[in-house]
């Protein structure tokens, strides 16, 4: 599993709008994609799963990928997160 750490910069944290953007983008990949926060992991393809982590501004998160297209999926997801000013 490949993991990239990030820090949330969106003042509202990881709320419904960015969660839906991430889940939609993650759904395009066959790899297992997860988001990690405070030792808990959730499926990045699930809006509910992302929201359940209760991620707030300045939170440390990690995007994790495992599978056939893990490298391209992880690269794409991190770019999307940064482009949408969700985390850095």
- The question of whether 15 is a catalytic residue gets the answer yes
**Cα angle at 81 between 78 and 85, to 5 degrees?**
140
Residue 66's Cα: distance from chain center in Å?
A: 14
* Tally of residues, the chain: 88
- Stated as kind and residue range, the H or E segment containing 64 is strand 60-66
Which of these is catalytic: 4, 15, 66, 67?
A: 15
- Which residues are the active-site residues? 15
């Amino acid at each position: 599993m490949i993991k990239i750490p990030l820090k949330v910069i969106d003042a509202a944290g990881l709320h419904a709008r960015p969660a839906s953007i991430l889940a939609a983008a993650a759904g395009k990949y066959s790899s297992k994609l997860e988001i990690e926060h405070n030792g808990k992991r959730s499926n990045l393809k699930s809006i509910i799963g992302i929201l359940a982590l209760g991620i707030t501004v300045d939170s440390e998160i990690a995007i994790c990928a495992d599978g056939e297209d893990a490298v391209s999926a992880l690269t794409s997801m991190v770019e999307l997160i940064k482009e949408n000013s969700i985390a850095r």
